[in-house]
Amino acid sequence: MAMIEFTLNGEPARIDADESEVLLDVLRGRLGLFGARFGCGAGQCGACAVLVDGRSVAACQIEMATLAGKSVTTLEGLGGPERPHPLQAAFLELQAGQCGYCLSGILVSAQALLDHNPDPSRAEIAEALDWHLCRCGVHNRVMEAVALAARRMREGDRS
């Protein structure tokens, strides 16, 4: 066990964890953050995606030892019911979800994209979200919601 210090959703975090323990297990089992979901356990479905230093990664594959000094953002760090992030608001407005299982991972990956490219093309949105599996078939609405949020964020509209 080791004390691992990092930033979690903008706040300092200190976790006593086995260095090989994966981030997803710590988030869900010890910190009560359930936005990142367990999907495949192999880093291939995107259900557990979180941002680590602004990059979308599979939390089921990230060992705690690698997080020292880094910044982690989960779905909970984007926004909430009282003040949703523009991506969350756009997804709700366009009903870009059905079961919702994949959406938390898609939302954080979309945030990573918009942080690096505030005006992505449809092809760039598709490429950034390609690793996310969605069984409900809401892909077109997801693409539209990311584009809508990007437009609103460029225009300074935070709703």
Positions of CATH 1.10.150.120 in the chain: 79-154
Q: How does pLDDT run across 22-34, given as a tens digit for each residue?
A: 999 999 999 999 9
Q: Pinpoint the alpha helices (H) of the chain.
A: 23-25, 75-78, 86-93, 103-116, 122-129, 139-154
User: Is the pLDDT score of 42 beyond 60?
Assistant: yes
This prediction's pTM:
0.93
Distance CA 66, CA 5 (A): 10
Architecture of domain 2-77: Roll (3.10)
Query: For 9-18, which contacts have Cβ atoms below 8 Å and span 24 or more sequence positions?
Result: 9/72, 9/73, 9/74, 9/76, 9/77, 10/73, 10/77, 13/72, 15/64, 17/64, 18/64
151, with CB counted inside 10 A (0-12, 13-18, 19+), is: middle
Positions of CATH 3.10.20.30 in the chain: 2-77
Q: How does pLDDT run across 78-87, given as a tens digit for each residue?
A: 998 999 999 9
Architecture of domain 79-154: Orthogonal Bundle (1.10)
Q: How does pLDDT run across 100-142, given as a tens digit for each residue?
A: 899 999 999 999 999 999 999 999 999 999 999 988 889 999 9
Residue 150: pLDDT band by 50, 70, 90 thresholds?
Answer: very high
